[in-house]
Amino acid sequence: MMFRHDNRTCIKNHRGGSVRVVVLLLLSFCLLLCLSALAGLRAANAPAGPSAKDIAPAYYITIEGMIDGGLASSVQRRTELAVKGGAKIIFYEIDTWGGLVDAALEITDTISGVKDAKTVAFVPPHKKAISAGALIAMSCNEIVMGPNTTLGDCEPIIPTGETGITTAPEKIQTVLRAKFRQFAKDKGCPDALVEALVSKDTAVYRIKKTSGAVEYVTGATLDSMADGEKKEIAEKKCILPAGRLLTMTQDEAVEYNFAKRIVSSKKELFEFYNLKPSAVVTQETNWSEEMVRWIEAISPILIAIGLVAIYLEFKYAGTFMFAGIAVVCFALVFFSKYMVGLAESMAVLVFIVGFLLILLEIFLLPGYMIPGFVGVTLLIAGLVLASQPYVVPTTPYEVKLTTENVVWVLGSFVGSVFLFILLVQFLPHTPAHAWTVLSATEPQSAGYSVAMERDKQLLGKTGVAHSVLRPAGRAEIEGTVIDVVTEGDFIERGKTIRVKYVDGNRIVVEAV
């Protein structure tokens, strides 16, 4: 008796169990990771208890590292707990080079929304509050700085592919200037210096009038003064030339009324506000928040891996291993976006529908292209929606952010295509290739035959492509639909094909 040995059946028999185990382990790990972090975040958000540990007159909240959505959610959580704990004063320790504008604005809204407690920004010795960090510090009622610290340089920038970075358009700068003016109003900070934190177009001068009054004015204001006003200027000094942003040392911050005092340590900070260290509760980010921030930081890598896994599932259809990897990667991405308040149910639903349409194209309707095209479009839409807290942009800033998200997602798709091409070239030469294709042989002496006599008789026969051959697919030859493969060419459905040769269990065809 002769048996036709089908390669895909062999994969299922020899690799199916191991692949399913790997996929199940990945999915289980992903689910466990998400549930653990969710449990941690829920526990962290639980109402504060009445113990002395949880109720105190002062709280100390750290804001360190990249300003992102995860940190914004963490600051909101800890601030709410401090308010519930009856805080009369909340310290925010700031040490950052900056980060995302929208995340910084969320943090400033949280801090400025505190009404029943004084908020104090503290820049510890040898630390910095730059860019978004300066904006956050300004949102507090008071700023205290340590020795060898800096504050300022809040020009919004946008990464580009050509020059690296570029200054954000005026419509974004004007929003930040308005925020700074709002926060600086009660501190008595000079308007010219507040504007210089965000924009570098105009020089800033310190003028001393004959009356002894000292003012800070921009170069444009100085040039527009009437002759009578200019005669009242007894002394003029340029403290910030045009083309430079304002970045202050601790002494300059006090001199310009941005900072209230300089202290040498945290202990001295507490003493200045008549507090004992034992009366201050310190709140750090918890492990689940750090994990969410880490996942959010590597989300572009996870998206690229997920997209490449989808492409590989097209190439090695039926293994389900790559589909499982894609599910894990995208689940982690959406989990992190959801936990920082970006991915809502609409984004998740759109993405899931797109993913299901792609699976439909792979396993049920190969070659039809329409489900796959619509699925990819919905994948892009879902990833874009997951990167922003709204569905339809309504302001210039939201339009700009949406455009950036679309470019970012499309860039991930293009990058994943190149990565897929590299993998296709190098994967067959690696041990990982054994997970997707059969490497063992089963000799004819054991009762197997690599091809039926019918297959050999098909040599030179013509037929019609029953599905798109890319390069594998199905064709109808002499009234029978069979599995065929090309030598790498793509052949559209319905095109005439001819059997070029039969190699083992492979029926190789070409377009006529």
Name the pLDDT band for 61 (thresholds 50, 70, 90).
very high
How many of the other CB atoms lie within 10 Å of CB of 189?
22
Name the pLDDT band for 120 (thresholds 50, 70, 90).
very high
**Could you say which DSSP state residue 502 is in?**
E
Greater confidence (269 vs 478) lies with 269
Between CA 474 and CA 501 the distance in angstroms is 16
Mean pLDDT score of the chain, rounded to an integer?
Answer: 77
Between CA 152 and CA 132 the distance in angstroms is 9
Task: Inform me whether the pLDDT recorded for 300 exceeds 70.
Answer: yes
Between CA 133 and CA 87 the distance in angstroms is 23
Between CA 96 and CA 67 the distance in angstroms is 7
Residue 206's closest CA among 195, 219, 187, 224? Answer: 219
In the structure encoding, which two tokens stand for residue 493, read together? Answer: 């459905």
Greater confidence (36 vs 359) lies with 359
**Of 93-107, 213-227, 400-414, 431-445, where does mean pLDDT reach its minimum?**
431-445
Between CA 122 and CA 214 the distance in angstroms is 28
For 47-185+246-285, which CATH superfamily applies? 2-enoyl-CoA Hydratase; Chain A, domain 1 (3.90.226.10)
Domain with CATH 2.40.50.140 in the chain: 451-511
pLDDT for the residue numbered 14: 38
Torsion of CA 148, 152, 156, 160, to 10 degrees: -30
Whether the model clears a pTM of 0.85, i.e. scores above it, the answer is no
Q: Say if residues 476 and 464 touch (Cβ distance below 8 Å).
A: yes
In the structure encoding, which two tokens stand for residue 16, read together? Answer: 């199916």
Architecture of domain 451-511: Beta Barrel (2.40)
Enumerate helices (H) and strands (E) in the chain, giving the number of each. 17, 19
In the structure encoding, which two tokens stand for residue 360, read together? Answer: 């439909």
Q: Find where tokens 């109808």 sit.
A: 476
AA identity, residue 147: P
pLDDT for the residue numbered 130: 93
SS3 track for 272-339: HCCCCHHHEEEECCCHHHHHHHHHHHCHHHHHHHHHHHHHHHHHCCCCCHHHHHHHHHHHHHHHHHHH
pLDDT for the residue numbered 212: 86
Domain with CATH 3.90.226.10 in the chain: 47-185+246-285
Between CA 500 and CA 107 the distance in angstroms is 67
Residue 135's closest CA among 115, 154, 113, 121? Answer: 154
pLDDT tens for each residue of 128-140: 999 999 999 999 9
pLDDT tens for each residue of 198-254: 888 778 999 998 888 889 998 888 888 888 888 888 899 998 998 888 999 999 999
